[in-house]
Structure 1
Amino acid sequence: MAGSELPDPTGPTGPTGPADTDPEAVAVRAETLVPEPAEALAGLLDIDPVPDGLLPPLWHWVYLLERRPQRDLGPDGHPVSGIPAPPGPGRRRMFAGGRVETRRPLVLGRPAERRTRVLSTTEKQGRTGPLTFVTVRSEISQDGAVAVVDEQDIVYRSPGAALPAAATGAVPPPDRPRLVLEVDEALLFRFSALTYNAHRIHYDRGFVAHEGYADLVVHGPLQALMMGELFRRNGVDLVGRRYAYRLVAPMIGPQPLTVAAAEAGLDTASPEAEAFSAAGAVTARSRLEPAS
Protein backbone atom coordinates (compact mmCIF):
# COMPACT_ATOMS: atom_id res chain seq x y z
CA MET A 1 0.00 0.00 0.00
CA ALA A 2 1.27 3.47 -0.84
CA GLY A 3 2.28 5.80 1.95
CA SER A 4 4.21 5.45 5.15
CA GLU A 5 2.92 4.06 8.40
CA LEU A 6 2.39 6.69 11.07
CA PRO A 7 3.81 6.29 14.57
CA ASP A 8 1.38 4.83 17.07
CA PRO A 9 1.26 6.97 20.24
CA THR A 10 -0.93 4.56 22.19
CA GLY A 11 0.88 1.28 21.72
CA PRO A 12 0.58 -1.65 19.31
CA THR A 13 -3.17 -2.11 19.71
CA GLY A 14 -4.14 1.56 19.44
CA PRO A 15 -4.77 3.95 16.53
CA THR A 16 -2.38 6.26 14.79
CA GLY A 17 -2.61 9.97 15.40
CA PRO A 18 -4.04 12.61 13.03
CA ALA A 19 -2.95 11.96 9.47
CA ASP A 20 -4.31 14.88 7.47
CA THR A 21 -0.92 16.61 7.16
CA ASP A 22 0.33 13.96 4.72
CA PRO A 23 -1.74 13.11 1.61
CA GLU A 24 -0.05 9.71 1.47
CA ALA A 25 -0.58 8.94 5.16
CA VAL A 26 -1.85 5.59 6.35
CA ALA A 27 -3.72 5.20 9.63
CA VAL A 28 -3.29 1.83 11.31
CA ARG A 29 -5.32 0.15 14.01
CA ALA A 30 -4.92 -3.40 15.34
CA GLU A 31 -7.03 -5.26 17.87
CA THR A 32 -8.38 -8.69 18.73
CA LEU A 33 -11.87 -9.23 17.32
CA VAL A 34 -13.60 -10.07 20.59
CA PRO A 35 -17.19 -11.39 20.27
CA GLU A 36 -18.95 -8.67 22.26
CA PRO A 37 -19.42 -6.08 19.45
CA ALA A 38 -20.91 -8.78 17.19
CA GLU A 39 -23.22 -9.86 20.00
CA ALA A 40 -24.24 -6.23 20.50
CA LEU A 41 -24.99 -5.77 16.80
CA ALA A 42 -27.01 -8.98 16.72
CA GLY A 43 -29.00 -7.68 19.68
CA LEU A 44 -29.66 -4.39 17.90
CA LEU A 45 -30.91 -6.31 14.84
CA ASP A 46 -33.01 -8.63 17.03
CA ILE A 47 -31.33 -11.79 15.73
CA ASP A 48 -29.31 -14.54 17.41
CA PRO A 49 -25.54 -14.03 17.82
CA VAL A 50 -23.35 -15.64 15.16
CA PRO A 51 -22.74 -19.24 16.25
CA ASP A 52 -19.66 -20.28 14.23
CA GLY A 53 -17.11 -17.65 15.22
CA LEU A 54 -17.05 -16.15 11.72
CA LEU A 55 -18.00 -12.48 11.45
CA PRO A 56 -20.81 -11.96 8.91
CA PRO A 57 -19.92 -9.73 5.96
CA LEU A 58 -20.20 -5.97 6.69
CA TRP A 59 -20.17 -6.55 10.46
CA HIS A 60 -16.55 -5.36 10.50
CA TRP A 61 -18.13 -1.88 10.76
CA VAL A 62 -18.35 -2.36 14.55
CA TYR A 63 -14.66 -3.28 14.85
CA LEU A 64 -11.29 -1.54 14.53
CA LEU A 65 -12.92 1.83 15.18
CA GLU A 66 -11.14 5.13 15.54
CA ARG A 67 -11.68 6.44 19.08
CA ARG A 68 -10.45 10.02 19.09
CA PRO A 69 -10.16 12.24 22.18
CA GLN A 70 -13.11 14.52 22.81
CA ARG A 71 -10.92 17.55 22.18
CA ASP A 72 -10.47 16.44 18.53
CA LEU A 73 -14.19 16.66 17.71
CA GLY A 74 -15.80 19.56 15.88
CA PRO A 75 -19.25 21.03 16.59
CA ASP A 76 -20.94 18.33 14.51
CA GLY A 77 -19.29 15.49 16.45
CA HIS A 78 -16.82 14.46 13.73
CA PRO A 79 -13.04 14.76 14.16
CA VAL A 80 -11.60 17.93 12.65
CA SER A 81 -8.43 16.10 11.55
CA GLY A 82 -7.44 12.62 10.52
CA ILE A 83 -8.61 10.40 7.65
CA PRO A 84 -10.53 12.00 6.11
CA ALA A 85 -10.15 15.56 7.34
CA PRO A 86 -12.83 18.12 6.48
CA PRO A 87 -11.70 20.19 3.46
CA GLY A 88 -12.50 23.44 5.30
CA PRO A 89 -14.22 24.88 8.35
CA GLY A 90 -17.98 24.54 8.47
CA ARG A 91 -18.23 21.96 5.67
CA ARG A 92 -21.02 19.47 6.34
CA ARG A 93 -20.33 15.77 6.01
CA MET A 94 -22.59 13.26 4.24
CA PHE A 95 -22.06 9.53 3.77
CA ALA A 96 -22.63 8.80 0.06
CA GLY A 97 -21.92 5.09 -0.38
CA GLY A 98 -19.12 2.67 -0.94
CA ARG A 99 -17.90 -0.76 -1.94
CA VAL A 100 -16.92 -3.72 0.23
CA GLU A 101 -15.02 -6.72 -1.12
CA THR A 102 -15.10 -9.60 1.35
CA ARG A 103 -12.30 -11.96 0.33
CA ARG A 104 -12.74 -14.26 3.29
CA PRO A 105 -14.63 -14.07 6.60
CA LEU A 106 -12.98 -12.47 9.59
CA VAL A 107 -12.59 -14.84 12.55
CA LEU A 108 -13.68 -13.78 16.02
CA GLY A 109 -11.15 -14.18 18.80
CA ARG A 110 -8.14 -13.49 16.57
CA PRO A 111 -6.13 -10.28 15.99
CA ALA A 112 -6.82 -8.16 12.93
CA GLU A 113 -5.32 -4.98 11.51
CA ARG A 114 -6.92 -2.15 9.54
CA ARG A 115 -4.88 0.18 7.31
CA THR A 116 -6.74 3.26 6.06
CA ARG A 117 -5.81 6.00 3.59
CA VAL A 118 -7.46 8.59 1.39
CA LEU A 119 -7.76 7.09 -2.08
CA SER A 120 -9.00 10.18 -3.95
CA THR A 121 -10.39 13.69 -3.51
CA THR A 122 -12.52 15.42 -6.16
CA GLU A 123 -14.07 18.89 -6.21
CA LYS A 124 -17.41 19.35 -7.98
CA GLN A 125 -20.15 21.93 -8.28
CA GLY A 126 -23.56 20.63 -7.26
CA ARG A 127 -27.07 22.07 -7.13
CA THR A 128 -26.47 23.07 -3.50
CA GLY A 129 -23.03 24.59 -4.08
CA PRO A 130 -19.42 23.31 -3.96
CA LEU A 131 -19.01 19.63 -3.10
CA THR A 132 -15.88 17.75 -2.09
CA PHE A 133 -15.95 13.99 -2.69
CA VAL A 134 -13.45 11.94 -0.67
CA THR A 135 -12.98 8.20 -1.07
CA VAL A 136 -11.36 6.42 1.87
CA ARG A 137 -9.96 2.92 1.46
CA SER A 138 -9.41 0.48 4.33
CA GLU A 139 -7.81 -2.95 4.11
CA ILE A 140 -8.43 -5.32 6.99
CA SER A 141 -5.97 -8.16 7.37
CA GLN A 142 -5.98 -11.25 9.54
CA ASP A 143 -3.32 -13.96 9.77
CA GLY A 144 -1.15 -12.09 7.28
CA ALA A 145 -3.70 -11.85 4.45
CA VAL A 146 -6.17 -9.16 3.42
CA ALA A 147 -9.70 -10.31 4.27
CA VAL A 148 -11.78 -7.18 3.60
CA VAL A 149 -11.29 -4.21 1.30
CA ASP A 150 -13.66 -1.38 2.21
CA GLU A 151 -13.99 1.86 0.23
CA GLN A 152 -16.28 4.60 1.55
CA ASP A 153 -17.37 7.74 -0.31
CA ILE A 154 -17.78 10.86 1.83
CA VAL A 155 -19.24 14.14 0.56
CA TYR A 156 -18.61 17.53 2.17
CA ARG A 157 -21.10 20.28 1.29
CA SER A 158 -21.17 23.98 2.04
CA PRO A 159 -22.80 25.42 5.16
CA GLY A 160 -26.39 26.52 4.69
CA ALA A 161 -26.96 24.44 1.54
CA ALA A 162 -30.50 23.10 1.41
CA LEU A 163 -30.97 19.40 0.78
CA PRO A 164 -33.42 18.24 -1.91
CA ALA A 165 -36.46 16.44 -0.53
CA ALA A 166 -36.72 12.71 -1.12
CA ALA A 167 -39.40 11.66 -3.58
CA THR A 168 -42.29 9.60 -2.26
CA GLY A 169 -43.42 6.36 -3.84
CA ALA A 170 -44.58 2.92 -2.86
CA VAL A 171 -42.82 0.04 -1.16
CA PRO A 172 -42.29 -2.96 -3.47
CA PRO A 173 -44.88 -5.72 -3.85
CA PRO A 174 -45.02 -8.18 -0.92
CA ASP A 175 -43.80 -11.10 -3.04
CA ARG A 176 -40.25 -9.72 -3.12
CA PRO A 177 -37.82 -10.82 -0.39
CA ARG A 178 -37.61 -8.12 2.27
CA LEU A 179 -36.57 -7.22 5.79
CA VAL A 180 -38.14 -4.58 8.01
CA LEU A 181 -36.29 -2.93 10.89
CA GLU A 182 -38.24 -0.68 13.26
CA VAL A 183 -35.96 2.32 13.68
CA ASP A 184 -36.64 4.47 16.72
CA GLU A 185 -34.57 6.94 18.72
CA ALA A 186 -33.09 4.21 20.91
CA LEU A 187 -31.93 2.18 17.90
CA LEU A 188 -30.34 5.23 16.29
CA PHE A 189 -28.52 5.99 19.53
CA ARG A 190 -27.36 2.38 19.93
CA PHE A 191 -26.08 2.17 16.34
CA SER A 192 -24.16 5.44 16.83
CA ALA A 193 -22.63 3.98 20.00
CA LEU A 194 -21.77 0.64 18.36
CA THR A 195 -19.99 2.33 15.45
CA TYR A 196 -18.48 5.07 17.65
CA ASN A 197 -20.14 7.66 15.42
CA ALA A 198 -20.68 10.94 17.27
CA HIS A 199 -22.29 12.78 14.32
CA ARG A 200 -25.07 14.67 16.06
CA ILE A 201 -27.58 14.38 13.19
CA HIS A 202 -28.38 10.84 14.38
CA TYR A 203 -29.31 11.59 18.00
CA ASP A 204 -29.50 15.35 18.67
CA ARG A 205 -32.79 16.90 17.59
CA GLY A 206 -31.56 20.31 18.66
CA PHE A 207 -28.76 20.08 16.10
CA VAL A 208 -30.37 18.54 13.00
CA ALA A 209 -31.86 21.81 11.67
CA HIS A 210 -28.36 23.29 11.68
CA GLU A 211 -27.40 20.61 9.15
CA GLY A 212 -30.50 21.14 7.00
CA TYR A 213 -32.65 18.20 8.18
CA ALA A 214 -36.19 18.17 9.57
CA ASP A 215 -35.55 15.33 12.05
CA LEU A 216 -32.99 12.74 13.08
CA VAL A 217 -31.20 11.06 10.17
CA VAL A 218 -31.13 7.26 9.80
CA HIS A 219 -27.50 6.19 9.33
CA GLY A 220 -26.41 5.39 5.79
CA PRO A 221 -24.26 2.45 6.99
CA LEU A 222 -27.29 1.00 8.81
CA GLN A 223 -29.23 1.01 5.53
CA ALA A 224 -26.26 -0.54 3.71
CA LEU A 225 -25.92 -3.16 6.45
CA MET A 226 -29.60 -4.09 6.21
CA MET A 227 -29.43 -4.51 2.43
CA GLY A 228 -26.43 -6.79 2.96
CA GLU A 229 -28.38 -8.68 5.61
CA LEU A 230 -31.19 -9.21 3.09
CA PHE A 231 -28.72 -10.99 0.83
CA ARG A 232 -27.10 -12.96 3.66
CA ARG A 233 -30.33 -14.12 5.30
CA ASN A 234 -31.64 -15.31 1.94
CA GLY A 235 -28.59 -17.46 1.28
CA VAL A 236 -26.78 -15.06 -1.08
CA ASP A 237 -23.09 -15.21 -0.15
CA LEU A 238 -21.18 -11.92 -0.05
CA VAL A 239 -17.81 -13.64 0.37
CA GLY A 240 -15.72 -13.54 -2.80
CA ARG A 241 -17.82 -10.70 -4.24
CA ARG A 242 -17.97 -6.92 -4.14
CA TYR A 243 -20.93 -5.28 -2.43
CA ALA A 244 -21.56 -1.83 -3.90
CA TYR A 245 -24.08 0.53 -2.32
CA ARG A 246 -25.18 4.12 -2.81
CA LEU A 247 -27.23 6.49 -0.66
CA VAL A 248 -29.65 8.34 -2.94
CA ALA A 249 -31.69 10.38 -0.41
CA PRO A 250 -31.64 10.98 3.35
CA MET A 251 -34.01 8.87 5.45
CA ILE A 252 -35.41 11.36 7.93
CA GLY A 253 -36.98 10.52 11.28
CA PRO A 254 -37.65 7.32 13.25
CA GLN A 255 -39.69 4.93 11.08
CA PRO A 256 -39.77 1.39 9.71
CA LEU A 257 -36.77 0.80 7.44
CA THR A 258 -37.69 -1.64 4.67
CA VAL A 259 -35.09 -3.29 2.45
CA ALA A 260 -36.27 -5.39 -0.49
CA ALA A 261 -34.89 -7.20 -3.48
CA ALA A 262 -35.10 -5.47 -6.84
CA GLU A 263 -37.70 -6.67 -9.35
CA ALA A 264 -35.40 -9.35 -10.81
CA GLY A 265 -35.12 -11.01 -7.38
CA LEU A 266 -32.07 -12.39 -5.63
CA ASP A 267 -31.42 -15.42 -7.84
CA THR A 268 -29.35 -13.53 -10.42
CA ALA A 269 -25.66 -13.17 -11.16
CA SER A 270 -25.68 -9.62 -9.75
CA PRO A 271 -28.61 -9.31 -7.33
CA GLU A 272 -29.77 -5.85 -6.31
CA ALA A 273 -31.63 -4.46 -3.31
CA GLU A 274 -33.16 -1.15 -2.27
CA ALA A 275 -33.95 0.60 1.00
CA PHE A 276 -37.32 2.33 1.40
CA SER A 277 -38.56 4.95 3.82
CA ALA A 278 -42.01 4.64 5.37
CA ALA A 279 -43.27 7.07 2.70
CA GLY A 280 -42.05 4.74 -0.04
CA ALA A 281 -39.02 6.79 -1.07
CA VAL A 282 -35.97 4.85 -2.23
CA THR A 283 -33.14 6.05 0.02
CA ALA A 284 -30.37 3.57 -0.88
CA ARG A 285 -29.51 0.99 -3.52
CA SER A 286 -27.05 -1.89 -3.54
CA ARG A 287 -25.69 -4.51 -5.91
CA LEU A 288 -23.49 -7.59 -5.63
CA GLU A 289 -20.79 -7.67 -8.29
CA PRO A 290 -17.89 -9.95 -9.19
CA ALA A 291 -14.77 -9.24 -7.12
CA SER A 292 -12.20 -6.98 -8.73
Structure 2
Amino acid sequence: MLEEYLRDWRPRPVVEHDSLAPEQSSALANALETSAPVDVLPPLWHWVHFLSWPPHSELGPDGHPLAGDFLPPVPDRRRMFAGGRITITEPLRLGVPAERTTELGGVTVKQGRSGEMAFVTEHREIHQDGRLRITEEVDYAYRSGESDTKNPTRLPPTDFPASDAAWQRRFAGDPTRLFRFSALTANTHRIHYDEPYCREVEAYPGLVVHGPLLVLLMTELAREHGGISEVSYRLRRPVFSGDPVLVCGDEDGAMSVRSDQVAAEASVTFTEPR
Protein backbone atom coordinates (compact mmCIF):
# COMPACT_ATOMS: atom_id res chain seq x y z
CA MET A 1 0.00 0.00 0.00
CA LEU A 2 2.86 2.41 0.65
CA GLU A 3 3.86 2.21 -3.01
CA GLU A 4 0.50 3.75 -3.94
CA TYR A 5 1.28 6.88 -1.90
CA LEU A 6 4.83 7.13 -3.24
CA ARG A 7 4.27 6.36 -6.92
CA ASP A 8 3.99 10.01 -8.03
CA TRP A 9 6.13 11.59 -5.31
CA ARG A 10 8.96 13.53 -6.94
CA PRO A 11 10.28 16.26 -4.62
CA ARG A 12 12.44 18.91 -6.24
CA PRO A 13 16.06 19.52 -5.22
CA VAL A 14 16.56 21.99 -2.37
CA VAL A 15 19.50 24.39 -2.05
CA GLU A 16 20.46 25.71 1.40
CA HIS A 17 23.22 27.97 2.69
CA ASP A 18 25.06 28.11 6.01
CA SER A 19 27.79 30.39 7.31
CA LEU A 20 29.38 27.52 9.29
CA ALA A 21 29.73 29.78 12.31
CA PRO A 22 31.93 28.15 14.98
CA GLU A 23 29.42 28.44 17.84
CA GLN A 24 27.51 25.30 16.81
CA SER A 25 30.68 23.22 16.66
CA SER A 26 31.84 24.53 20.03
CA ALA A 27 28.51 23.51 21.54
CA LEU A 28 28.74 20.04 19.99
CA ALA A 29 32.29 19.67 21.32
CA ASN A 30 31.01 20.40 24.82
CA ALA A 31 28.20 17.88 24.44
CA LEU A 32 30.67 15.23 23.26
CA GLU A 33 33.31 16.32 25.80
CA THR A 34 36.02 16.83 23.23
CA SER A 35 38.08 19.74 21.92
CA ALA A 36 36.33 22.31 19.73
CA PRO A 37 37.62 22.51 16.16
CA VAL A 38 39.62 25.61 15.31
CA ASP A 39 39.76 25.66 11.50
CA VAL A 40 38.06 22.67 9.86
CA LEU A 41 34.98 20.63 10.70
CA PRO A 42 35.58 17.02 11.79
CA PRO A 43 33.74 14.31 9.84
CA LEU A 44 29.93 14.52 10.18
CA TRP A 45 30.02 17.67 12.32
CA HIS A 46 28.13 19.45 9.53
CA TRP A 47 25.08 17.71 11.04
CA VAL A 48 24.82 20.63 13.47
CA HIS A 49 24.66 23.07 10.53
CA PHE A 50 22.08 23.60 7.75
CA LEU A 51 19.35 23.34 10.39
CA SER A 52 15.62 23.79 9.84
CA TRP A 53 13.29 25.16 12.53
CA PRO A 54 9.68 25.11 11.20
CA PRO A 55 6.96 27.00 13.09
CA HIS A 56 5.71 25.10 16.13
CA SER A 57 2.23 24.85 14.64
CA GLU A 58 3.66 22.83 11.73
CA LEU A 59 4.86 19.96 13.94
CA GLY A 60 2.95 16.70 14.23
CA PRO A 61 2.01 14.72 17.36
CA ASP A 62 5.39 12.96 17.31
CA GLY A 63 7.29 16.26 17.17
CA HIS A 64 8.36 15.84 13.54
CA PRO A 65 7.25 18.38 10.91
CA LEU A 66 3.93 17.49 9.32
CA ALA A 67 5.29 18.35 5.88
CA GLY A 68 8.68 18.84 4.32
CA ASP A 69 10.59 18.63 1.07
CA PHE A 70 11.68 15.02 1.54
CA LEU A 71 9.06 13.71 3.98
CA PRO A 72 7.09 11.06 2.04
CA PRO A 73 3.30 11.54 1.73
CA VAL A 74 2.24 8.48 3.74
CA PRO A 75 -0.52 8.65 6.41
CA ASP A 76 0.38 8.66 10.12
CA ARG A 77 4.05 8.74 9.18
CA ARG A 78 6.65 7.35 11.63
CA ARG A 79 10.31 8.02 10.89
CA MET A 80 13.57 6.28 11.83
CA PHE A 81 17.19 7.08 11.00
CA ALA A 82 18.49 3.96 9.21
CA GLY A 83 21.97 4.56 7.83
CA GLY A 84 24.04 6.36 5.28
CA ARG A 85 27.30 6.95 3.45
CA ILE A 86 29.61 9.95 3.17
CA THR A 87 32.67 10.85 1.12
CA ILE A 88 34.82 13.76 2.28
CA THR A 89 36.76 15.15 -0.68
CA GLU A 90 37.93 18.12 1.36
CA PRO A 91 37.01 19.02 4.94
CA LEU A 92 34.68 21.97 5.43
CA ARG A 93 36.27 25.10 6.87
CA LEU A 94 34.71 26.90 9.79
CA GLY A 95 33.46 30.43 9.19
CA VAL A 96 33.37 30.04 5.39
CA PRO A 97 29.90 30.06 3.76
CA ALA A 98 28.83 26.72 2.30
CA GLU A 99 26.03 25.56 0.01
CA ARG A 100 24.19 22.26 0.32
CA THR A 101 22.04 20.76 -2.43
CA THR A 102 19.69 17.93 -1.46
CA GLU A 103 17.73 15.76 -3.86
CA LEU A 104 15.82 12.50 -3.68
CA GLY A 105 18.27 9.64 -4.04
CA GLY A 106 15.76 6.80 -4.12
CA VAL A 107 12.65 5.21 -2.61
CA THR A 108 12.22 1.52 -1.83
CA VAL A 109 9.35 -0.26 -0.07
CA LYS A 110 10.22 -3.38 1.92
CA GLN A 111 8.33 -5.75 4.17
CA GLY A 112 9.69 -5.80 7.73
CA ARG A 113 8.77 -7.50 10.99
CA SER A 114 6.39 -4.66 11.83
CA GLY A 115 4.87 -4.36 8.36
CA GLU A 116 5.70 -2.31 5.29
CA MET A 117 8.58 0.16 5.48
CA ALA A 118 9.46 2.86 2.98
CA PHE A 119 13.19 3.58 2.75
CA VAL A 120 13.94 7.09 1.48
CA THR A 121 17.47 8.16 0.57
CA GLU A 122 18.45 11.83 0.52
CA HIS A 123 21.45 12.63 -1.67
CA ARG A 124 23.38 15.71 -0.56
CA GLU A 125 26.33 17.63 -1.94
CA ILE A 126 28.08 20.39 -0.02
CA HIS A 127 30.17 22.99 -1.85
CA GLN A 128 32.48 25.58 -0.36
CA ASP A 129 34.60 28.10 -2.29
CA GLY A 130 33.03 26.68 -5.45
CA ARG A 131 34.44 23.18 -4.82
CA LEU A 132 32.63 19.98 -3.93
CA ARG A 133 33.69 19.11 -0.39
CA ILE A 134 31.21 16.45 0.78
CA THR A 135 28.97 13.92 -0.94
CA GLU A 136 26.48 12.27 1.37
CA GLU A 137 23.55 9.86 1.27
CA VAL A 138 21.28 9.48 4.29
CA ASP A 139 18.70 6.67 4.56
CA TYR A 140 15.45 7.09 6.51
CA ALA A 141 12.87 4.38 7.17
CA TYR A 142 9.19 5.26 7.37
CA ARG A 143 6.19 3.26 8.40
CA SER A 144 2.54 4.21 8.26
CA GLY A 145 0.63 4.30 11.54
CA GLU A 146 1.08 2.02 14.50
CA SER A 147 3.44 -0.92 14.29
CA ASP A 148 1.83 -4.35 14.25
CA THR A 149 4.58 -5.55 16.57
CA LYS A 150 4.98 -3.91 19.97
CA ASN A 151 8.37 -3.88 21.62
CA PRO A 152 8.48 -6.71 24.16
CA THR A 153 9.26 -6.20 27.82
CA ARG A 154 13.01 -5.86 28.02
CA LEU A 155 15.64 -6.44 30.66
CA PRO A 156 18.07 -3.53 30.25
CA PRO A 157 21.81 -4.32 30.20
CA THR A 158 23.39 -3.73 33.59
CA ASP A 159 27.06 -3.47 32.65
CA PHE A 160 29.34 -2.67 29.74
CA PRO A 161 30.07 -5.63 27.45
CA ALA A 162 33.52 -7.16 27.16
CA SER A 163 35.45 -6.77 23.90
CA ASP A 164 38.92 -7.47 22.54
CA ALA A 165 38.70 -4.52 20.11
CA ALA A 166 41.86 -2.41 19.95
CA TRP A 167 39.92 0.83 20.48
CA GLN A 168 37.20 1.08 23.11
CA ARG A 169 35.16 3.77 24.81
CA ARG A 170 32.27 3.46 27.23
CA PHE A 171 29.10 5.49 26.84
CA ALA A 172 25.71 5.79 28.52
CA GLY A 173 23.33 8.37 27.11
CA ASP A 174 21.71 10.31 29.95
CA PRO A 175 18.59 12.48 29.34
CA THR A 176 20.51 15.75 29.63
CA ARG A 177 22.96 14.82 26.88
CA LEU A 178 20.07 13.64 24.69
CA PHE A 179 18.31 16.97 25.22
CA ARG A 180 21.44 18.89 24.26
CA PHE A 181 21.95 16.82 21.10
CA SER A 182 18.30 17.30 20.10
CA ALA A 183 18.73 21.06 20.41
CA LEU A 184 22.02 21.07 18.50
CA THR A 185 20.52 19.17 15.56
CA ALA A 186 17.03 20.80 15.61
CA ASN A 187 15.57 17.35 16.25
CA THR A 188 12.11 17.68 17.82
CA HIS A 189 11.22 13.98 17.72
CA ARG A 190 9.64 13.23 21.10
CA ILE A 191 11.29 9.81 21.46
CA HIS A 192 14.47 11.62 22.57
CA TYR A 193 13.02 13.75 25.41
CA ASP A 194 9.44 12.69 26.28
CA GLU A 195 9.58 9.42 28.20
CA PRO A 196 5.79 8.99 28.71
CA TYR A 197 5.35 9.40 24.94
CA CYS A 198 8.09 6.80 24.32
CA ARG A 199 6.38 4.24 26.52
CA GLU A 200 2.72 4.92 25.81
CA VAL A 201 2.77 5.75 22.09
CA GLU A 202 5.93 4.32 20.51
CA ALA A 203 6.10 1.37 22.96
CA TYR A 204 9.76 1.93 23.74
CA PRO A 205 11.07 1.15 27.25
CA GLY A 206 12.69 4.58 27.61
CA LEU A 207 14.20 7.57 25.82
CA VAL A 208 15.92 6.66 22.57
CA VAL A 209 19.54 7.69 21.96
CA HIS A 210 19.79 9.51 18.62
CA GLY A 211 21.08 7.42 15.74
CA PRO A 212 23.32 10.27 14.50
CA LEU A 213 24.84 10.51 17.98
CA LEU A 214 25.77 6.82 17.85
CA VAL A 215 27.38 7.38 14.45
CA LEU A 216 29.33 10.37 15.76
CA LEU A 217 30.58 8.31 18.69
CA MET A 218 32.04 5.80 16.23
CA THR A 219 33.65 8.38 13.95
CA GLU A 220 35.04 10.34 16.89
CA LEU A 221 36.76 7.21 18.21
CA ALA A 222 38.15 6.50 14.74
CA ARG A 223 39.27 10.14 14.30
CA GLU A 224 41.62 9.78 17.26
CA HIS A 225 43.65 7.38 15.12
CA GLY A 226 43.76 9.15 11.75
CA GLY A 227 42.04 11.33 9.18
CA ILE A 228 38.81 10.04 7.65
CA SER A 229 37.80 10.20 3.97
CA GLU A 230 34.76 7.89 3.86
CA VAL A 231 32.20 6.48 6.28
CA SER A 232 29.42 3.97 5.71
CA TYR A 233 27.11 3.30 8.65
CA ARG A 234 24.00 1.38 9.60
CA LEU A 235 21.68 1.50 12.62
CA ARG A 236 20.57 -1.98 13.63
CA ARG A 237 18.58 -1.55 16.85
CA PRO A 238 17.82 1.27 19.30
CA VAL A 239 19.89 2.21 22.32
CA PHE A 240 17.99 3.65 25.29
CA SER A 241 18.93 6.27 27.83
CA GLY A 242 21.12 4.77 30.55
CA ASP A 243 22.09 1.68 28.57
CA PRO A 244 25.82 0.97 29.08
CA VAL A 245 27.25 0.56 25.58
CA LEU A 246 30.76 0.08 24.27
CA VAL A 247 32.02 1.99 21.24
CA CYS A 248 34.57 -0.27 19.53
CA GLY A 249 36.93 -0.14 16.58
CA ASP A 250 40.24 -1.25 15.15
CA GLU A 251 42.78 -0.34 12.48
CA ASP A 252 40.81 -1.80 9.58
CA GLY A 253 38.09 0.82 10.21
CA ALA A 254 35.41 -1.57 11.45
CA MET A 255 33.50 0.32 14.14
CA SER A 256 30.48 -0.60 16.26
CA VAL A 257 28.32 0.37 19.19
CA ARG A 258 27.22 -2.62 21.25
CA SER A 259 25.69 -3.78 24.48
CA ASP A 260 24.47 -7.38 24.53
CA GLN A 261 23.85 -6.94 20.79
CA VAL A 262 25.24 -4.71 18.04
CA ALA A 263 23.22 -1.49 17.91
CA ALA A 264 25.16 0.36 15.20
CA GLU A 265 28.08 -0.36 12.93
CA ALA A 266 30.27 1.62 10.57
CA SER A 267 33.07 1.13 8.09
CA VAL A 268 35.62 3.95 8.08
CA THR A 269 38.20 4.64 5.36
CA PHE A 270 41.26 6.52 6.61
CA THR A 271 43.03 9.13 4.52
CA GLU A 272 46.30 7.26 4.95
CA PRO A 273 46.84 3.47 5.06
CA ARG A 274 46.93 2.10 8.59
Q: What TM-score do you get using the length of structure 2 for normalisation? A: 0.87
- Pick closer, same or farther for the CA change 1:226–1:140 going to 2, 3 Å: same
Q: Would you say the 8 A contact 2:9–2:72 is kept in 1?
A: no
| Equivalence for 1:251 | 239
- Pick closer, same or farther for the CA change 1:246–1:131 going to 2, 3 Å: same
% identical equivalent positions: 41
Structure 1 residue 140 and structure 2 residue 126: aligned?
yes
Query: In the aligned structure 2, how far is the partner of 1:272 from the partner of 1:46?
Result: 23
| Equivalence for 2:16 | 29
Query: In the aligned structure 1, how far is the partner of 2:134 from the partner of 2:268?
Result: 15
| Equivalence for 2:256 | 274
Secondary structure at the aligned position of 1:288 is classed as: strand
Structure 1 residue 96 and structure 2 residue 82: aligned?
yes
In the alignment, which of 53, 62, 65 is matched to residue 76 of structure 1?
62
- Pick closer, same or farther for the CA change 1:138–1:186 going to 2, 3 Å: same
| Equivalence for 2:214 | 223
Query: In the aligned structure 1, how far is the partner of 2:136 from the partner of 2:56?
Result: 26
Query: In the aligned structure 1, how far is the partner of 2:96 from the partner of 2:150?
Result: 43
| Equivalence for 2:94 | 108
Q: Count the aligned residue pairs.
A: 259
Q: What TM-score do you get using the length of structure 1 for normalisation? A: 0.82
Q: Would you say the 8 A contact 2:75–2:144 is kept in 1?
A: no
Q: Would you say the 8 A contact 2:151–2:203 is kept in 1?
A: no
- Pick closer, same or farther for the CA change 1:124–1:42 going to 2, 3 Å: same
Q: Tell me the amino acid that sits aligned with residue 75 of structure 1.
A: P
Structure 1 residue 287 and structure 2 residue 274: aligned?
no
| Equivalence for 1:126 | 112
Deviation, structure 1 residue 73 = 1.4
Deviation, structure 1 residue 288 = 2.0
Deviation, structure 1 residue 180 = 2.4
Unaligned runs of 5+ in 1: 1-20
Name the Cα RMSD after superposition.
Answer: 2.3
